[in-house]
Amino acid sequence: MSGIGKTTAAELCCKELGLSFVIMNASDVRNKAAIEKRSEQLVCNQMEQYCSKDGASSKSPVKSETKNKKPFDHLLIMDEVDGMSGNADRAGMSELIQMIKRTKVPIICICNDRQSMKVRSLANYCFDLRFQRPRVEQIK
């Protein structure tokens, strides 16, 4: 179901928790090479931010990590994953699954069609949170 607020909900959760995030529209990065390139950019950018932030704000890295340290500061939102693995490279979905397995960066995968065959293999590596279209009386 499109247009019911899945991406907005993910963004608001990140903001509420004070996490930075990057949104990648999976329909724009359908193939393995594009996913690898974009995810490498994300990791490199986040590492640069992490190193410069810790280096400038604290004389002792040990103290900064133990004091109110979250398990992660950023995450990746992959929107429209059901639009992946289409005409381009079928390895795109496999690469996303491998990235979920190997990275420590949390990944939120959003889809419109949960029943799609493309999404079924991915669902084994995700927490499945389903959204429903609100009824008219809930909106008024």
Domains of the chain listed by start with CATH number: 6-56+71-134 (3.40.50.300)
Position 61 pLDDT exceeds 50:
no
Residue 86 confidence (pLDDT): 58
Asked whether the beta carbons of 114 and 128 are under 8 A apart, the reply is yes
Q: What is the mean pLDDT of residues 111-117?
A: 88
CA trace torsion 135, 136, 137, 139 (10° rounding): 90
Residues in contact with 30: Cβ distance below 8 Å, sequence separation at least 6, in sequence order:
83, 84, 85, 86, 87, 88, 89, 92
Quick one: 89 exposed, middle or buried, by C-beta within 10 A (0-12, 13-18, 19+)?
A: middle
Residue type, 96: L
* Token representation of residue 82: 């059901």
Indicate if the pLDDT at residue 58 is higher than 50.
Answer: no
Q: CA 103 to CA 28: how far, in whole Å?
A: 21
Q: What does the angle CA 73 – CA 13 – CA 3 come to, to the nearest 5 degrees?
A: 130
Q: How many residues does the chain have?
A: 140
Better-scored residue on pLDDT, 1 or 9 = 9
Q: What is the pTM of this model?
A: 0.72
Per the model's pLDDT, the better-predicted residue between 116 and 54 turns out to be: 116
Distance (Å, rounded) from C-alpha 107 to C-alpha 123?
13
- Report, as an integer, the average pLDDT of 56-83: 65
